[in-house]
A = this chain, B = another copy of it.
Amino acid sequence: MTKRTDTIRLGAFLMATGHHVAAWRHPRAAKDAGVDIEHYVSLAQKAEAAKFDMMFLADSQGGFVDRDDPESIARMAGVAGFEPITLLSAIAARTQRIGLVATATTTYYPPFLLARLFASLDTVSGGRAAWNLVTSAAAGEAQNFGLEQHPEPEVRYARAAEFAAVVKGLWESWEDDAFPRDRDSGLFADPSKLHILGHKGAHLSVAGPLNVPRSPQGHPVVVQAGSSEPGRELAAATAEVVFTAHQTLASAADFYADVKGRMARHGRRPETLKIMPGVMAVVGDSERHAREKYEELQALVHPEIGKRFLARLFEDDRLLEHDENQPLPEWVQVDGRKSRPALLLDMARREDLTARELHLRVTGARGHWTIFGDAGQIADQLESWFDGHGADGFNVMPPHLPDHLDDFIAEVLPELRRRGRFRTDYEGTTLRENLGLPFPEHPARRAAALAEAAE
């Protein structure tokens, strides 16, 4: 495997008490972390001191509640907490260099509002904002926004593509030098550098212009998290960073080659998109020690969480009454067209797992790549994905916060630096500069440059 000459990009994917479903029950967890601004500021400042490219926040517009079964949320720490754009704006004021990535849905946001919030966050932070475009995984969001049903994926992705174009159009309302603010002539804005979008499309109608000037990064970095077919196509067309989930290098490398391979058709160079799979890395003095740390969390997963997970997975409420320390009952069946339940059932039968052993494989890390080891072993695995063209970097998902972020910073980063794989200081002042992404030239200027070149 040839060693790459660029360096690994790192995001810190932060989530209250951590990514593991039982992290909030850990004795060292700050139980109210989801509404504690100082907790988040402290994590962001640590990640910044460690030179992470960015911190990342997931989001849902309140869709994860089963309104018919309030009990189902009683054990989930993610049910309520900060809204990410307000949280990142506050963090922006107490950090200087780290990138700030918020997730926001194209299915339920009005595009004018979204474009405005992110352009303003980019300005508040001096060029460190990124928008993680999602189409919403939680069907329950629909009823919070006046709809009966969550639209089907095809509809969501068609709207998302149009939405992304509208948001970029709004971000291009003003050229970079549209505001001469000339006291003598009294000219604040130059109307010839104003571009009114006037979009009327299948899903959206938005006139513009945006009432925020072009932001420090030209526009916020566009991130995307979907890995479905339409998600890949949209990423190839518009994303600058892609978050994704893979369990093996083979799967990650396939995805990497596929998405980067689609970019040429959109007139884009592959290096203008950074692919960053999620990784739950647990560091210890040895692999065994790391696994023991993880088992501490696994032991805290409440049986009810597992039962409900399995009952939903296999669509059979009898599993709510099943003893989790026994194997799955013989009567559990799956619809062969659904690949995930079939895969898990097959694994359970083959490895003779108890119900608890089965659900712990999934509920804890939520399907992300989970690796264990001492610093050298973790670094080896990250390097193998990086050099194997499965990743340009990683979105680091600490199972438990702050401890596992601290461990990663104290143990893994020095090792990556020794190997010349990670920065010792920020390269630039904006997220775009640190990620090595080009500044998006305003289309009017691009057009002018082309006209000049043709003369």
> When A81-B212, A181-B24, A188-B74 are in contact, do A87 and B124 touch as well, CB less than 8 Å?
yes
Shortest A284–chain B CB gap in Å is 23
Are A80 and B213 within 8 A (Cβ)? yes
Cα–Cα, bound, A85→B84 (Å): 12
A123 interface hit (Cβ, 8 Å): yes
Cα–Cα, bound, A190→B70 (Å): 9
Tell me which of A27-35, A271-279, A350-358, A370-378 binds B. A27-35
Are A120 and B74 within 8 A (Cβ)? no
Are B113 and A109 within 8 A (Cβ)? yes
Are A71 and B24 within 8 A (Cβ)? no
Pick from B110, B144, B212: contact of A80, CB below 8 A: B212
Q: Which residues of B contact A76 (CB under 8 A)?
A: 188-189
Query: Which B residue's beta carbon lies closest to that of A122?
Result: B86
Are A117 and B86 within 8 A (Cβ)? yes
> When A93-B93, A117-B86 are in contact, do A70 and B188 touch as well, CB less than 8 Å?
no
Cα–Cα, bound, A70→B178 (Å): 12
Are B186 and A62 within 8 A (Cβ)? no
Cα–Cα, bound, A122→B35 (Å): 10
> When A27-B183, A90-B90 are in contact, do A208 and B113 touch as well, CB less than 8 Å?
no
Are B211 and A80 within 8 A (Cβ)? yes
Q: Which residues of B contact A363 (CB under 8 A)?
A: none
Shortest A226–chain B CB gap in Å is 21
> When A70-B191, A188-B74 are in contact, do A206 and B144 touch as well, CB less than 8 Å?
yes
Q: Which residues of B contact A119 (CB under 8 A)?
A: 83
Q: Which residues of B contact A82 (CB under 8 A)?
A: 120, 123-124, 212
Cα–Cα, bound, A60→B212 (Å): 11
Are B31 and A183 within 8 A (Cβ)? yes
Are A83 and B145 within 8 A (Cβ)? no
> When A82-B123, A94-B93 are in contact, do A213 and B35 touch as well, CB less than 8 Å?
yes
Pick from B32, B74, B146, B191: contact of A191, CB below 8 A: B74
A65 interface hit (Cβ, 8 Å): yes
A209 interface hit (Cβ, 8 Å): yes
Q: Which residues of B contact A94 (CB under 8 A)?
A: 93-94
Cα–Cα, bound, A198→B213 (Å): 39
Task: Give the most central of A60, A65, A211: most B CB within 10 Å.
Answer: A211
Q: Which residues of B contact A25 (CB under 8 A)?
A: 183, 186
Shortest A290–chain B CB gap in Å is 23
What are 19 sample pairs from A and B whose C-beta atoms fall under 8 A apart? A24-B181, A37-B124, A61-B112, A65-B209, A73-B189, A74-B187, A74-B188, A74-B191, A75-B188, A76-B188, A80-B211, A89-B90, A89-B93, A109-B113, A110-B146, A112-B144, A112-B145, A143-B206, A144-B207
